[in-house]
Amino acid sequence: MERRWELDALRGVMLVLMTLTHLPTLFSSPFGQPFGFVSAAEGFVLLSAYMCGVVYTQREQRDGEEPMRSALLQRAFKIYLCQAALLVFLFSFIAGIGLLADQDAVKNLMSFYLERPVVAVVGSLLLLYNPPLLDILPMYIVFMLASPVLLVLGLRRGLRRGWTPVLALSVAGWFGAQFGLGRVLQAQLIALTGLPVPPQQGGAFDILAWQFLWVLGLWMGSSQAAKRPAVPQGLPHWAVLAAVAIGVAGTVWRHAVGQAAFPTLPGTAIPNMLFDKWRLGPLRMLDLFALLLLVLHFGPWLKQRLPRLRFLETLGSASLPVFCAHLVVALLALALWGEPDKERSIGIDLGILFGGFAVLYAVALISQQLDCRAAAVQKRFKERRAARLARLAATSGERRSPTSRAHSPPH
């Protein structure tokens, strides 16, 4: 697949916003959910699923189901290795710094590990125990493992007919998650293993709710790869106006009251559930769909007029290593400086930000260089293999040529 710079730039934007949110500085709150009651995580999951749908549908069309399935499983294993490396880093280096410095932020983040280290290690490798900040990649691993089945089902009986039951089942799962079904299933899964991992230690994200975003993005990407766009290019005028109204209202509301939609209203549990991030509440989804429609409608116009920001493209093109690096930087900052503190010098916060982004950009550049070298090695290997096969074919042709048989001695 030819790289699309605008998608890399969008992923870069999501990575920047997530880094600003996760680094423990005074900038984390204003940059959390900057466009309404929608965070960068929703955009990143949706965009990643879209890219997955495009890339692996093209792979299936070119090579068939088995190579597509194998490539997806290899990708899932690669992400699992990244998660395992992050867990080792957290349980060793970060735990050591946090305990030596008596850092409450670190001790709170990994409290279950400090209480039950053996259970925590085994549970984390089984993706059942997921500490804060390290609960995102496990969700990706599950989605990547499910993607071969989803793509095969979606493509099997014709694109539009095939995806209809998949999307319907996905919506049903999201609806069930709003009433706690996801947490019940999670608790049952942990109980089957016999590990004494509290369900609340399984991670903040409700996978049964978030799978809907993944399936939605996968469908859109697969549709695009099959030359049948899921969303028409010309959106109705009323839909664009409604999206603008919802997007503007959500952004103004969020920055007027904070990241909780109803922070001061008595008995706000139920109203705030409508905007809940972890279960993707209904009004949160409405805000997200409005922003998605605005991106789809104004995206081509903006692409033609906005300057290309190479910094964002570089980050987005190496999204997995940059994402992992941003977690490393966030954990280090948390271990060294703790939670955001108004009493802390603004210079320290700015230093954390600039230092963190310098590390991320360096990781992206190194990743690009490694990818280029790997691509060059693979290209040379294919060329040599093609040349060798051509020589074998030529040799075989000479042996079977009529001229050779005519001059061969009689038996």
Cα 196 from chain centroid (whole Å): 29
Number of residues written out for the chain: 411
Q: Are 5 and 313 spatial neighbours (Cβ–Cβ below 8 Å)?
A: yes
Radius of gyration of the CA atoms of the chain, in A: 25
Judged by DSSP in three states, 341 sits in: coil
Instruction: Give the C-alpha separation, 223 to 229, whole Å.
Output: 5
Cα 376 from chain centroid (whole Å): 27
Q: Are 338 and 5 spatial neighbours (Cβ–Cβ below 8 Å)?
A: no
Supply 39's token pair.
């965070």
Supply 390's token pair.
């051509």
Alpha helical stretches, state H, 23-64: 28-31, 40-63
Residue in the block written with tokens 């664009």: 240
What does pLDDT average to in each consecutive run of 10 residues of the chain (411 residues)?
Answer: 84 95 92 92 94 93 92 96 97 92 90 94 95 94 96 72 89 96 92 91 94 96 83 83 95 91 71 91 96 91 88 94 97 93 91 96 95 84 81 73 52 46
Supply 197's token pair.
């991992």
Could you give phi then psi for residue 234, rounded to 5 degrees? -95, 95
Closest by CA to 22, choosing from 47, 44, 52, is: 44
What is the rounded end-to-end Cα distance, in angstroms, of the chain?
A: 56
**Residues ≥6 apart with Cβ < 8 Å to 163:** 154, 219, 222, 223
pTM: 0.89
Supply 265's token pair.
């209203």
DSSP states of 359-384: HHHHHHHHHHHHHHHHHHHHHHHHHH
Supply 47's token pair.
């965009």
Please calculate the CA angle 86-88-91 and round it to the nearest 5 degrees.
105
Q: Are 38 and 213 spatial neighbours (Cβ–Cβ below 8 Å)?
A: no
Indicate the residue type of 295: V
Judged by DSSP in three states, 335 sits in: helix
- Torsion, CA 239, CA 240, CA 242, CA 247, rounded to 10: 140
Judged by DSSP in three states, 140 sits in: helix
Instruction: Give the C-alpha separation, 34 to 155, whole Å.
Output: 36
Q: What share of the chain is helix, strand, coil (3-state, %, to 5)?
A: 75, 0, 25
- Can you give the pLDDT at residue 157? 56
- How far is residue 116 from each of residues 86, 121, 170, 309, measured CA to CA in Å? 19, 9, 35, 46
